[in-house]
Structure 1
Amino acid sequence: MHDDQLAVPVTTVRALVDEQFPQWRDLPVRAAAGQGTVNAIFRIGDRLAARFPLRPDDPDTVRRHLADEAAAARVLLGRTRFATPEPVAIGEPGAGYPLPWSVQTWLPGTVATDDDPAGSVGLAADLAEFIAGVQSIGTGGRPFSGGGRGGDLRRHDAWMRTCFDRSEHLLDVPALRRLWGRLRELPRETPDAMVHGDLIPGNVLVRAGRLAGVLDVGGLRPADPALELVAAWHLLDDRPRSVLRERLICAELDWQRGKAWAFEQSMGAVWYYVDSFPAMSRMGRRTLARILADEA
């Protein structure tokens, strides 16, 4: 998926587990079904998941990042009725793999990319409950850190120019440029709140059309609360999307900003993953189609 991606064979994972966590030597190690964009995921037995960063970086920086992710996951654990991963351990480089890595609990369920629940009103209600639960945690007075999504939409202009340039052969770029020109001007009126920050189908577990759990919770942090509304556009069709909005009592400006964040994320997904991760590229296309239909 990435030009500089690290190779993580299962033999390396087996060696690292055996060396650093001998209590798990008797548990089978296997690659998890599906594909992550940030980490390679391996199962250790039935109850654990090992996550190996895919992009090269400074080991000390990665170790601090993994510790921050674990701390965030502990803050969220048990704060809603929906399952989220529990941090278990942080591993060290070795066996040819150059970075620290992490272990957390494995959550049962089917990712929403494999079981598309877009028409489920029940899922919409569950997502609204999860989002409200996350935002009830409180920021402790901390502001948005300034990195990634969740601040000023206009700070993403350079990235969007790259996305438009790379998408000329894939999408109706002139129409999308005009739409971004409107969305980027949407002001902020609501204060920062705690957000998961990446409620895309690959991070949402479902069972029988309902929310079973949420993955990739290490990004929990203060940000624009409208960032959570990407779930409305990535995961839901018209009627369930309206239910989510009603349950959250979402003001028009926040709703439009949620659309803007989903637009920004989708523009990047379409071209970046078109060959390396087609399911992610298709997610971006589908979300853009929903946004354009809503605009029309």
Structure 2
Amino acid sequence: MSPRKFHADHIGTPVVHELVAAQFPQWAALPLEPFNSSGLANAIYRLGPDLSVRLPLPPSITDMVQREQEKLAALAPFLPVAIPSVEAIGSPHAAFPGTWSVHRWLTGAQPAPDAMVDPRRLARDLAAFVDAFRRVDLPDREPTYPGERRTRAPMVSMDSSTRKMISELDGLIDTRAALASWEESLAAPYDGREAWVHSDLTPNNLLVSTAGRLTAVLDFETCGVGDPACDLFPAWYLLPIDVRDEFRAALDVDDATWLRGRGRVLSQALTYLRHHKETPALANNARHVIREVLAASR
């Protein structure tokens, strides 16, 4: 099967067990089960109580996993919550023609805007994470894969695709309001100052405790140096309007940066809704963001 046609459904528990047993026999006896992740880039399996197996989709034989391991190890000391840790790297195999990895399992649940225990405390935790990330003192790295920098590129580079998404969602959203909101954000000035950003702080990439505290942040594939507005996504993905201003104040965000953040999250949500209408978690998150952004714009 070619990598181009490889999907999560084509892998399956027997394949992953074969990979682990062949390359990491010390873990072969651990229970293995698929993990129902709404992410699109990897198939994930729980391996015993403390580990997970992650298989990139489509499979790749590049050094992406090795570089990810090095990046995560370098970033961890700067950050106030847990982030993924690559425990081992698997080689391409007849059962899966790409590199893959074993990660340390991180505890917590993905937050939902309508089921948060303590949104004010979570807002402070998120602000502390973003602030710590901005203070990372490491050189940026070359992209691991083509297009990786797209999520933190200048907003003008997103203009054509965002307008296209708005047009194609006519009938599903208020396209006039969406276009007006996007154009307001696009016009917000940017002085070019950059900082380290995660650039994808969506609910899928956050874990919280039963008390509502931020316990871990996932998926650092697109992180690096970019516009600080890239890390304001939680304001519209998660935080109630009465808490949003506290998140903003904790990070001392000026008007222009706030507008750019609002535009970036709108662009991402439009893309998710356009391309993943049949994936309930992604589509519901996207609809929520679009509603929040357009309400704020009005």
For residue 239 of structure 2, what is the aligned residue in structure 1?
236
Is the CA contact (8 Å cut-off) linking 1:12 and 1:95 kept in structure 2?
A: no
For residue 294 of structure 2, what is the aligned residue in structure 1?
292
Question: Aligned partners of 2:50, 2:221: CA distance in 1, in Å?
Answer: 19
Write the letter of the residue equivalent to 1:92.
Answer: S
CA offsets 1:39-88 (integer angstroms, 9 cap, x no match) = 111111111111111235xx33xx32222222221122132231111111
Does residue 151 in structure 1 map to residue 153 in structure 2?
yes
When structure 1 is superposed on structure 2, of 279-288 and 154-163 the one drifting more is: 154-163
Tell me, what secondary structure is at the counterpart of 1:67?
helix
Question: Aligned partners of 1:283, 1:141: CA distance in 2, in Å?
Answer: 30
Q: Which runs of 5+ in 2 are unaligned?
A: none
> For 1:247-286, what aligned pairs fall within 5 Å after superposition?
247-275=250-278, 277-286=279-288
1:34 to 30, 37, 45: 37
For residue 210 of structure 1, what is the aligned residue in structure 2?
213
For residue 182 of structure 2, what is the aligned residue in structure 1?
180
TM-score in terms of structure 1 length: 0.90
Q: 1:21 to 1:141 in 2, by over 3 A?
A: closer
Question: Aligned partners of 1:18, 1:142: CA distance in 2, in Å?
Answer: 34
Is the CA contact (8 Å cut-off) linking 2:23 and 2:90 kept in structure 1?
A: yes
> For 1:1-296, what aligned pairs fall within 5 Å after superposition?
4-6=5-7, 7-55=10-58, 59-60=60-61, 63-113=62-112, 116-117=115-116, 120-140=119-139, 147-207=149-209, 208-275=211-278, 277-296=279-298
Q: Which runs of 5+ in 1 are unaligned?
A: none
Is the CA contact (8 Å cut-off) linking 2:162 and 2:267 kept in structure 1?
A: yes
Q: 1:141 to 1:101 in 2, by over 3 A?
A: closer
Tell me, what secondary structure is at the counterpart of 1:157?
helix
Is the CA contact (8 Å cut-off) linking 1:139 and 1:221 kept in structure 2?
A: no
Write the letter of the residue equivalent to 1:132.
Answer: D
Tell me, what secondary structure is at the counterpart of 2:266?
helix
Tell me, what secondary structure is at the counterpart of 1:148?
helix
Q: 1:99 to 1:15 in 2, by over 3 A?
A: same
Q: Quick one: percent identity of the two aligned structures? A: 30
Question: Aligned partners of 1:172, 1:204: CA distance in 2, in Å?
Answer: 29
Tell me, what secondary structure is at the counterpart of 2:77?
coil
Q: 1:141 to 1:287 in 2, by over 3 A?
A: closer
Write the letter of the residue equivalent to 2:286.
Answer: G
Tell me, what secondary structure is at the counterpart of 1:219?
coil
- How well do the aligned residues superpose, as a CA RMSD in angstroms? 2.3
Is the CA contact (8 Å cut-off) linking 2:181 and 2:263 kept in structure 1?
A: no
Q: Shift of residue 155 of structure 1?
A: 0.5
CA offsets 1:203-236 (integer angstroms, 9 cap, x no match) = 1101122211111124331111110001211111
TM-score in terms of structure 2 length: 0.89
Q: 1:34 to 1:140 in 2, by over 3 A?
A: closer
Q: 1:262 to 1:81 in 2, by over 3 A?
A: same
CA offsets 1:221-279 (integer angstroms, 9 cap, x no match) = 1111110001211111112211111111111111111111111111111121111x111
Q: Shift of residue 139 of structure 1?
A: 4.5
Write the letter of the residue equivalent to 1:76.
Answer: L
Write the letter of the residue equivalent to 1:153.
Answer: M
Write the letter of the residue equivalent to 2:20.
Answer: V
Q: 1:153 to 1:146 in 2, by over 3 A?
A: farther
Is the CA contact (8 Å cut-off) linking 1:138 and 1:193 kept in structure 2?
A: no
Tell me, what secondary structure is at the counterpart of 1:90?
strand
Is the CA contact (8 Å cut-off) linking 1:183 and 1:257 kept in structure 2?
A: yes
Question: Aligned partners of 1:82, 1:139: CA distance in 2, in Å?
Answer: 18
